[in-house]
Structure 1
Amino acid sequence: MSANSFRYLPLDPERREIRILALQPGVFEEPLRCSIATTDLDTSPVYNALSYVWGDPSSSNIPGNTVLLDGHPFPVTANLLTALRHLRPPAGAGATALWVDAVCINQQDLDERRHQVTMMRDIYASAERVIIWLGEEDAETDVLDSIPLLAAQSRHQGVDAKLDQRLVDLMGRCAGFFLGLVDRRPWFSRVWIIQELAMARRDPLVVCGRKSVSWSTLMKAWSFLARATFTEMGMVRRKGPQGGSQKLPEGDLSGEGLEERGGGDVEVLGMIKIDVLDDLYRTIKSQGGESLRKLLMISKTSEATDPRDRIYALLGLLKPDALEAHSEDVIIVDYRKPTSEVYADAMAYLFAQGDGPYYLSYAFLPGVSAPAPYIPGLPSKARQPDLPSWVPDFSRQVTGKATRPSGDMFNPPAGPGASGAGAGCKNGKRLEDGRTLQIEGLFVDTIEQVVPLGTTIDAYIAQLPELESLASAARQRPCRLGSSVAPLVEEFKGKEPLWRALVANKRFLSGYDPAPSSYETAYLSLLNQSPKQPKLDGETGRAQPSDYEQCLRARAGKQSFFTTRNGFVGTCVRDSRKGDIVAILFGSPVPFVLRPIAESIQVAGSDRPSYLLVGASYVSGIMDGEMVDELYCEDLMDSTTFFIR
């Protein structure tokens, strides 16, 4: 936004200078008057930092949406104008010192933006208090007055099943408030708020219109509700030791083993983001930072006005020594860089840290990044231009509220996964052309058949006999990978039934737990069901679909079934095709589908084949590291260097 007649005085880039806004007192309806002054963070200035959502940028062009800044009109968005009115001190009081990014940073000066963004961690950490502005009051915000009462209940070891009826009624009202909080309040969708909250040195103040409550009080009340209200609805699950989860028994409201804040080992399905933010807030306080891989996973549903901020907004949350630890791939804030280059920088940094292969398995699994893979020339739903195929489009917001890395049904399996003994290795680097990833792995096989799964659960179930037939025929194909390898490959091919492969061997609604043997019965029931059977109501007529059927439903229309030349079977991204290859990239828990392309790459004076990364896959029989541990580590198979563009 432009500053009309107001002119910024430049900040000294050699010092840690910032601007502080002095919000002058007045009554609510009066025009807002402010002054602005430059100060140095090293002098420990006293101010509060505002965490808010800009809102519709065009609203700053509406006449009247201005503040007087040193006597000059300065346009602001409607949401910021409202926030400043509510935060303005009353007439007769002293001015309030605030740091507000839209006013205190010259947004038109790209060099200043870069300099201030690199200081953002310190700006919020140095503030006397971080004020979270959620917006104006609505019909449900009256419950904020009662939040401290619920928070006080979290001190009890368990939840009294014979609660006072008044408290029960209050819990009902607060449950509605919390369940709608993330959807109604855009603050929760903004990527910058993660850092602004996490870096607060004191308990942040949450403000909604004329009502306010501390962040810790809000979280204690939420934790109490998560145990007391949502357990009996089947929405609360206890987190397992490896990140998996299981439903709490009905009536189990004991809270046994809960962390001090009152809810550390339970999560509410479908309402996770507020919990994740608080987890991160406490992690930053105890550990000083987090890895970029985890931050990207946590923020996968977050939005940014500038797509480059999907990366830049997270840099201040890295552990203080993280950026220096891998100086060859350090991420430098530069708003002159195209978005594609910023995203490639982020992936190069992840590979330098040893997190690249794992993050690829997360970012490219079917249904996580997008229904369609990122391949030039194929439909991509407005993918950022010029991105290499191995670089995710971080600007594409993932739908859904579950943001825990362990909570997504498409996450990699427990244990080392397909990489086996190579699971923890540091593997992969970006070449000097800035677009090519060089990475080591194993060639698994070439895809022979691809069958896109039905787009509805009925269509998918009708395909099951065909898939069984294709899988059986494929497993009869002889292995031609060499006489020393063939016997073991034949063993791998026959070790897992198809019903496990179709659900990636995972339990419904569990990030890591393997599919139970009881799923076989459900699968056989679906397999034997006539597709011509009359339907009752809705899509399938099955009033109570099994957990196994729910697993299939989640994959319908998003994946394809495939077989390979040497008889492997599995599932892959929907647009995989015959002639693609399957490869294990050391360090990744899942194999990948790669597409050979005509363009070769010159390495050490010779032409090497190159590939596009199509997406992740599940290959039956090799998902526990069999090929790495029993073939590669026993010198029966050589590794391959892949060049991915």
Structure 2
Amino acid sequence: MPVNSSPRLRDSLEYEEPEATDARFTLGFRSLTIDSAEYDHHEPQDDHRPFAGSPDPSASRRKRRQRRSDLALNHAVPFQYRTVADGDVFRLAVILPGTGGAPIECQLIWESSSKPKRDYVCLSYCWETTVRDAAILCDGYRFPVTKNLYRALQSLRKPTANLLIWIDQVCINQDDLRERSHQVSIMKHIFSNAKEVNIWLGEEDDRSKKLCEYAKKMRRGEDRPSSTWKNSLSRIMGQRQLDDAIQSLLQRPWFQRVWVIPEVALARFTVVACGSSRISWDNLVRLIRDTQLPRTKGFDKQTHLLGNPRQRIAILTQMIASQRKGLLHTDITQLLILAKSSQATDSHDKVYAFYGMTLLTTVPDYTRPEERLFVDIAHHYVNSIMYDDYYSRFHGLSEQRRSQQLMSILYSAGRLHQHPHYTLPSWVPDWTYAWYQAPLWCKTESNIVTGTIRDVWSAGIRCDHRAGGDKLETFEIIDGTHGQHRLHLSAVLFDAVAEVSETTPASTPAAADKSAPSPSSLSVTLDSPTFNYGRDFFRTSNGSLGMATHGIQAGDVLAILLGGDVPAVLRPAGTNDDGVGLYELLCECFVQSAEVMNGELIRTDWTLAKDVVLI
């Protein structure tokens, strides 16, 4: 639903007449009110606000000024937004000069998102919490902020000059859902027009400081590597120390937040700040790409979960390349991986964070029910992939890659991977449900490919299984009565769950040869600690063994989805008026049978496929 603009102001800034200028851009106008008559004939000499320009050489005067600022902050009236950021405008914070523990003071001004007239920067940081237990002075009023933002502003503000910066916590009225929705809709312009984006990772420690020093020296010497250069790097950090420092850095909260994705992808230039240390984003990515983590034998969420920090950076690297070429991003697989592995204060942000840089057409609206939002996204992408030739041509998608994206929607969904408080169709992904198992349907390697605008990354994560082959048959959404959305597709129902156990059940002698292939014939085995984490084991009616997400039960059906790489578990739910079977999608699964997992069953007799409907 579009955001209503203020009736007192023009929305469009596409004009040249000085008298038609938006009142918010006139000299002296700030963010307090648009009703005051004092702005009708404002003159620069009437502005008697103190100027905090050059540093004060007197220590005593600096102390007196800080005491006055502390007193003003403690007794200041709470800040209130009295205007709405609508139309093409957004707020900028002017951070006044200061150093050390001096209170942070700022002023709010208006800027145009379509034709900005000032150079400004944007701040990308982590809220960590919604509790605002610190405060700054904003237009002379007390403005509560989170401690992490307060520390970021202390580090980034300049000692002798103003800093023009966009900060979501200050520049958007977070309590006004309509304003938030509208500002999200112009976020692409805000970040793409900024001269740079400052990433704040938090306070520095000894490892992060040395890591930044290491990255800078590595970048300066990589064009002419020598033994002396390598020795100087090793003196900063040894290989073990380097691995530990990178791992520690990637575990910082910033790398898990959803909003940092568009903030970096849309930036012209990005600087990473960790305390007082600064490096460029490209240097950080190069360092992470060239340093390999040691392999672990057991389950490790830092490497075995989708959306792990390195994989997030790999996806983000491709997004940056696409944005710099002026291309929208299209891969629903990547969006689902990022959203479900990210944290957000508001669940709507799992979707709206990608608005403006993808083919998502949903207009941000924070009053919209989340279930409706998730259904619409799935509906939009299925129809785009199936019927929109422009979608495929945009990134050169082959039929195989189109099938891969469609199936990623189903493998990201399933009743066992949805929050119970949502009433979603079983085939629609719950974008808020975090990954917690090593996936069977794709790989989790980082696969950082720099400089390419094509979906090379997606091709590199496809798993080694080919249960459903590459041929996609029926795959269409059926819009039923009472808002029901069902998915009609082709599948081979080849077996059923007979027994479920937390430990591997023994196979029957008759099926031993078929259910226990040699380890070399399958890329996954039942005794793999990586893949059996979070899964139960089952025995089928035909005597095969397998594993699937906890929650399956006897009577559930095993199905090969045509075009899918791994089988799925379905739960029967009757038939429709045409006699077609209705099923709930539960989860993906693994069956210890080369005939099933390698696609031999499909190749032998693909006519076994029949139409099913997922509800």
User: Is TM-score (shorter-chain normalized) higher than 0.5?
Assistant: yes
Q: How does 1:30-179 map to 2 (within 5 A)?
A: 30-45=102-117, 46-58=119-131, 60=132, 62=133, 65-91=134-160, 93=161, 95-143=162-210, 144-155=212-223, 165-172=231-238, 173-179=241-247
Instruction: Report the Cα distance in structure 2 between the residues aligned to 1:559 and 1:160, rounded to whole angstroms.
Output: 53
| SS at 1:467 equivalent | coil
| SS at 1:148 equivalent | helix
Q: Given that residues 439 and 531 in structure 2 are in contact (C-alpha distance below 8 angstroms), is that contact kept between their aligned partners in structure 1?
A: no
Of 353, 371, 376, 2:384 maps to 353
**What is the Cα deviation at residue 218 of structure 1?**
2.4
**What is the Cα deviation at residue 35 of structure 1?**
1.4
For residues 541-566 of structure 1, the C-alpha deviation after alignment (integer angstroms, 9 at most, x for no partner) is xxxxxxx686266316613233246x
Distance 1:351 1:180, change over 3 A: same
Q: Given that residues 93 and 106 in structure 2 are in contact (C-alpha distance below 8 angstroms), is that contact kept between their aligned partners in structure 1?
A: yes
**What is the Cα deviation at residue 581 of structure 1?**
2.3
Letter in 1 for 2:347: P
Instruction: Report the Cα distance in structure 2 between the residues aligned to 1:117 and 1:403, rounded to whole angstroms.
Output: 35
Of 202, 214, 237, 2:280 maps to 214
Q: Given that residues 293 and 350 in structure 1 are in contact (C-alpha distance below 8 angstroms), is that contact kept between their aligned partners in structure 2?
A: no
Q: Given that residues 172 and 180 in structure 2 are in contact (C-alpha distance below 8 angstroms), is that contact kept between their aligned partners in structure 1?
A: yes
Instruction: Report the Cα distance in structure 2 between the residues aligned to 1:141 and 1:572, rounded to whole angstroms.
Output: 40
For residues 433-492 of structure 1, the C-alpha deviation after alignment (integer angstroms, 9 at most, x for no partner) is 4443222213423515233251xxxxx4xx4xx2253734xxxxxxxxxxxxxxxxxxxx
Q: Given that residues 419 and 585 in structure 1 are in contact (C-alpha distance below 8 angstroms), is that contact kept between their aligned partners in structure 2?
A: yes
For residues 483-509 of structure 1, the C-alpha deviation after alignment (integer angstroms, 9 at most, x for no partner) is xxxxxxxxxxx8x65235x999216xx
Of 607, 610, 614, 1:639 maps to 610
**What is the Cα deviation at residue 613 of structure 1?**
1.0
Instruction: Report the Cα distance in structure 1 between the residues aligned to 2:325 and 2:114, rounded to whole angstroms.
Output: 24
Corresponding residue of 2:18: none
Q: Given that residues 526 and 547 in structure 2 are in contact (C-alpha distance below 8 angstroms), is that contact kept between their aligned partners in structure 1?
A: no
Letter in 2 for 1:306: D
| SS at 2:552 equivalent | coil
1:374 aligns with 2:407: no
Of 581, 585, 595, 1:613 maps to 585
Instruction: Report the Cα distance in structure 1 between the residues aligned to 2:573 and 2:438, rounded to whole angstroms.
Output: 37
For residues 130-174 of structure 1, the C-alpha deviation after alignment (integer angstroms, 9 at most, x for no partner) is 110111222323212343102234335xx7678754421323244
1:196 aligns with 2:267: no
Instruction: Report the Cα distance in structure 1 between the residues aligned to 2:164 and 2:280, rounded to whole angstroms.
Output: 20
Task: Provide the aligned length of Structure 1 versus Structure 2.
Answer: 492
Larger relative contact order (CA 8 Å, sep ≥ 6): 1
**What is the Cα deviation at residue 353 of structure 1?**
3.1
| SS at 1:149 equivalent | helix
For residues 256-304 of structure 1, the C-alpha deviation after alignment (integer angstroms, 9 at most, x for no partner) is xxxxxxxxxxxxx985544554344335435724323222224542211
Distance 1:210 1:572, change over 3 A: closer
Of 555, 561, 585, 2:538 maps to 561
TM-score by length of 2: 0.70
Structure 1 residue runs of 5 or longer lacking an equivalent are 236-244, 246-268, 324-329, 455-459, 473-493, 508-547
Q: How does 1:95-494 map to 2 (within 5 A)?
A: 95-143=162-210, 144-155=212-223, 165-172=231-238, 173-183=241-251, 185-202=252-269, 204-226=270-292, 272-286=311-325, 288-290=327-329, 291-318=331-358, 322-323=359-360, 330-354=361-385, 358=404, 362=408, 374-375=415-416, 383-399=420-436, 406-407=443-444, 413-414=463-464, 417-423=466-472, 427-429=475-477, 431-432=479-480, 433-447=482-496, 449-454=498-503, 460=504, 463=505, 466-467=506-507, 469=509, 471-472=511-512
Instruction: Report the Cα distance in structure 2 between the residues aligned to 1:314 and 1:30, rounded to whole angstroms.
Output: 37
For residues 412-450 of structure 1, the C-alpha deviation after alignment (integer angstroms, 9 at most, x for no partner) is 6447x2332524x67232525444322221342351523
| SS at 1:79 equivalent | helix
**What is the Cα deviation at residue 627 of structure 1?**
5.2
Distance 1:41 1:564, change over 3 A: same
Instruction: Report the Cα distance in structure 1 between the residues aligned to 2:135 and 2:434, rounded to whole angstroms.
Output: 31
Q: Given that residues 573 and 615 in structure 1 are in contact (C-alpha distance below 8 angstroms), is that contact kept between their aligned partners in structure 2?
A: yes
Structure 2 residue runs of 5 or longer lacking an equivalent are 1-76, 297-302, 387-401, 447-460
Alpha-carbon RMSD across the aligned residues, in angstroms, is 3.7
**What is the Cα deviation at residue 405 of structure 1?**
5.5
Distance 1:614 1:400, change over 3 A: closer
| SS at 2:223 equivalent | coil
Q: Given that residues 272 and 280 in structure 2 are in contact (C-alpha distance below 8 angstroms), is that contact kept between their aligned partners in structure 1?
A: yes
Identity of aligned residues (%): 26
| SS at 1:140 equivalent | helix
| SS at 1:317 equivalent | coil
Q: Given that residues 123 and 166 in structure 2 are in contact (C-alpha distance below 8 angstroms), is that contact kept between their aligned partners in structure 1?
A: yes
Distance 1:556 1:453, change over 3 A: farther
Q: Given that residues 427 and 439 in structure 1 are in contact (C-alpha distance below 8 angstroms), is that contact kept between their aligned partners in structure 2?
A: yes
| SS at 1:113 equivalent | helix
Instruction: Report the Cα distance in structure 2 between the residues aligned to 1:50 and 1:582, rounded to whole angstroms.
Output: 49
**What is the Cα deviation at residue 607 of structure 1?**
7.1
Instruction: Report the Cα distance in structure 2 between the residues aligned to 1:402 and 1:169, rounded to whole angstroms.
Output: 40
Q: Given that residues 495 and 559 in structure 2 are in contact (C-alpha distance below 8 angstroms), is that contact kept between their aligned partners in structure 1?
A: no
Distance 1:160 1:69, change over 3 A: same
Instruction: Report the Cα distance in structure 2 between the residues aligned to 1:568 and 1:55, rounded to whole angstroms.
Output: 47
Q: Given that residues 452 and 574 in structure 1 are in contact (C-alpha distance below 8 angstroms), is that contact kept between their aligned partners in structure 2?
A: no
Q: Given that residues 471 and 563 in structure 1 are in contact (C-alpha distance below 8 angstroms), is that contact kept between their aligned partners in structure 2?
A: no
| SS at 1:418 equivalent | coil
| SS at 1:422 equivalent | coil
Instruction: Report the Cα distance in structure 2 between the residues aligned to 1:447 and 1:126, rounded to whole angstroms.
Output: 56
Distance 1:396 1:96, change over 3 A: same
Letter in 2 for 1:278: T
Q: Given that residues 496 and 555 in structure 2 are in contact (C-alpha distance below 8 angstroms), is that contact kept between their aligned partners in structure 1?
A: yes
Instruction: Report the Cα distance in structure 1 between the residues aligned to 2:597 and 2:84, rounded to whole angstroms.
Output: 57
Instruction: Report the Cα distance in structure 1 between the residues aligned to 2:182 and 2:435, rounded to whole angstroms.
Output: 30
1:551 aligns with 2:528: yes
**What is the Cα deviation at residue 582 of structure 1?**
2.7
Q: Given that residues 135 and 143 in structure 2 are in contact (C-alpha distance below 8 angstroms), is that contact kept between their aligned partners in structure 1?
A: yes
Instruction: Report the Cα distance in structure 2 between the residues aligned to 1:404 and 1:641, rounded to whole angstroms.
Output: 21
| SS at 1:562 equivalent | strand
For residues 296-321 of structure 1, the C-alpha deviation after alignment (integer angstroms, 9 at most, x for no partner) is 22454221111121122123331xxx
Distance 1:301 1:421, change over 3 A: closer
Q: Given that residues 467 and 561 in structure 1 are in contact (C-alpha distance below 8 angstroms), is that contact kept between their aligned partners in structure 2?
A: no
**What is the Cα deviation at residue 55 of structure 1?**
2.3
Distance 1:421 1:217, change over 3 A: closer
Corresponding residue of 2:561: 585
Distance 1:214 1:499, change over 3 A: same
